[in-house]
Structures are given as C-alpha cells and as structure tokens.
Amino acid sequence: MIPKFVKKTSKKPGLPPGSIVHVGRRREAVPRIAVIRYNAEAIGEETVDGRLVSSAQDPLAPAPSDGAGAAGVTWINIDGIHDPALLEAVGRRFAIHPLTLEDVAHAGQRPKLEDYGDYLYLVAKMLYFDAGDEAVHAEQVSFILTRGALLSFQETPVDVFDPVRERLRGGKGRIRGAGADYLLYALLDAMVDHYFPILEVFGDRLALLDEALVTDLERKTLDAIHEMIREMLFLRRQIAPLRDALGQMKDAENPLVDAGTGLYLGDVHDHATQVLDTIANFRDLLAGMLDRYLSLMSNRMNEVMKMLTMIATIFIPMTFLTSVYGMNFKHMPELDWRWGYFGLWGVLIALAALMLLYFKRKDWL
C-alpha cells in the first residue's frame, strides 16, 4: 500500500506555467476520443483516433439543435491524458486556458472546481476496489463544462459511465432533453454512487476485524486495523474536496449551471456527504478498536504476569525449604526425625494451600 503516498507528483520545476506535462501512469496506447452528440430527438456517436484531432475535418463540431430549436449537447470523452499534442489541440478548439490543460494532464490534482467564466473545470476521482491487492485505487477524471459541450478526460477507460451512455441512447428520463450541465450531473452521480459498494466492502472488513479482536489478538489483526485506517485516510482525501467542489458547483452563479440542475447536484453533494459521514464513522470505530486492542493486550499481559507470579510465589519458597534439607551439614537434627520427611510434605502442602487461598482472595484465580 505504500506506493500510494510516494506517487511522483512533480513536474520538472522551472517549466513555464501552462506546460502540459503528463504525470501519472505511463501509457503507450493512442488516446481514444468518443464523441456523442444528442438533442431531445436524435443521438449520434463516433469514435475519433487521438492522432486525427487536429486534421481539417472537425470531429468536435457542435451538436445540431433539435426541432424546437433547443441546443444540442456534445459530450467528448477522452480516454488518456498522456498526449500533450492532443490536449493542446482540444484546448485550442474550446479556448481552454493553458493552466487548465496543465492540470488535466497532471493526475496528481486534488478534486476541485475552478470557474473560468466561459467554462467550469472540475476534477474528481474515480475510486475502484481492486480485489487483487485488496486496496482502493483512484483514477483522476477531469470535466470541462462549456456552452453546449462537456469534455471528460480519464486516465484509463472507466466503465462507470456506461449506464449513462445507455440512458442517453435509450432516450429515457430527463437526460436527453436537458443540457450539458445535467449530463455532467449524471456522470458525477454515477461516480459517487460507485463509492457506496466500496464502503460496503470496508464495512464487511470492519465487522470481521471486530470479531477477530474478540477471538484472537494476533499481530495481523493490528496490521489490518492500521491498514484500514490508512485506506480511510486515503478515501477521505479523495472525497472531501470533491464534496466541497460539488457544494460550490450547486451554488455557482455561473449561467452554465441551470438552477434545476443545481437541485440535482445538491443530491450528489448529499450522497458525497453521506459517504464522508460513513468514513468518519469507520474511523471512529477503528480508533476504538485500536484502543481496545491495546487494552486487551495489556489485559493479557496482566494475566501472563499473574500466572508467572503465582507459579513463582508458590514454588520458589517450597524449593527453598527442600533445598535446606538437601544440605550436607553434619548436624541437622531434623534429618534424623522419624516423621521429618512427611512432616515437611505437610508444611509444603500447607504453604501452597495458603498461597492459593491468598491468590483466591486477591481475585487472581
């Protein structure tokens, strides 16, 4: 899990601002650009090869209006942020500020909302649970919401957007008739909804750990608690700034976001708050489990020490007595007594009984 916090996050210091330098996992594949244009009546999809973007034919042309004259929406989804030339071409086409492009290419952003007047720039994190290494991973997803178009940038293809695509194709619900801001909402909603199953995985793990605390106090339980605390820290760092960005967006006074969509964004904000609430709860519970682990260890140590002390306190004095009568002095009258040996046994047993009684009364047994 350690690599998570040593992710290389630095571009080369000293570069001028707006230098588009990819930071993130290295990828070789050519970015795939999926363009969906739709209005309430029609929908069209095409896939553009990342290398063709700057050609004469403009694959990024706006969507046609529908019959009622309502403007259509263009959704351009770009899988892969490692090609500066592509990002620059897109930037020119949509008049994106170089600083925005620099951030898009840099996978180490904190989730945030930036209002550039003509467009909104939102950074979010897609989280998924990798059953392989039993850890949560984060992918950066950037959105640029501009008039009549939504650009989304992903490090790797994310299938969490598929249900939204289906809804677009099916033409059901509000989505086809609404604007690009509603599309952004739908995508964010899909992302935040995917946080819940991750919490359930951790909830199950928490229940197992809690049980493990009762049955066996092994070191691996301790390690698992610490590991989970780290995961919670990681989740919170991904989600808390997103929640704040959503709060800003729902109250944004930018005309790009419709008041009606604000209501829906409030709902996503609410979900993100619920997620954070659960995370906070998990952290409280984990902190309690850690406290309990330490108390139980201390308890157990106490029991171990009691056992040692009882054994030692009973047998050391008895051994001393037998050792006395193992001495080879010439003149030891007791040795010649007829019942000396048996008498000593009596003394020894009485001594042990007394000690046991004492421990009994001290509640050690």
**Shortest CA distance to 146 belongs to which of 256, 65, 245, 246?**
256
For residue 40, state whether it binds its own copies (rule: CB under 8 A).
Answer: no
Classify the C-alpha dihedral 197-202-208-210 as positive or negative: negative
| Residues 77 and 161 sit within 8 Å (Cβ to Cβ) | yes
Instruction: Give the one residue of 67, 69, 255, 331 binding its own copies; rule: CB under 8 A.
Output: 331
The only residue of 291, 350, 354, 357 in contact with its own copies, by rule CB under 8 A? 291
Give 3-state DSSP helix, strand, coil % of the chain, rounded to 5.
55, 15, 30
Compute the Cα dihedral for 241, 166, 91, 47 and give only its sign: positive
Binders of its own copies in range 1-30 (CB under 8 A): 2-3, 5-11, 13-18
Q: Which is nearer to its own copies, 90 or 113 (CB)?
A: 113
Choose the stretch contacting its own copies; rule: CB under 8 A; options: 51-59, 65-73, 143-151, 160-168: 160-168
Q: How many CB atoms lie within 10 A of CB 352?
A: 15
Q: Is 270 a binder of its own copies (CB under 8 A)?
A: yes
What does the per-residue mask of binding to its own copies show for 65-104, with x meaning CB under 8 A?
Answer: --------------------------------x-x--x--
Q: Under rule CB under 8 A, which residues in 226-255 are in contact with its own copies?
A: 226, 229-230, 233, 237
Positive/negative CA dihedral, 324, 325, 328, 333: positive
Q: In terms of CB distance, is 317 or 346 closer to its own copies?
A: 317
Nearer to its own copies, 31 or 269 (CB): 269
Residue from the set 167, 171, 252, 356 that interacts with its own copies by CB under 8 A: 167
Q: Does 299 bind its own copies (CB under 8 A)?
A: yes
Angle of helix 340-361 relative to helix 259-324, nearest 10 degrees? Answer: 160
d(CA 300, CA 312): 18
Cα–Cα distance measured from residue 90 to residue 74, given in angstroms and rounded to the nearest whole number: 14
Residue with smaller CB distance to its own copies, 29 or 312: 312
| Nearest residue to 18 (alpha-carbon basis) of 125, 119, 96 | 96
- Stretch of 32-40, 47-55, 136-144, 323-331 lying at the interface with its own copies (CB under 8 A): 323-331
Cβ proximity to its own copies, 67 vs 219, nearer residue: 219
Binds its own copies (CB under 8 A): choice among 58, 172, 354, 365: 172
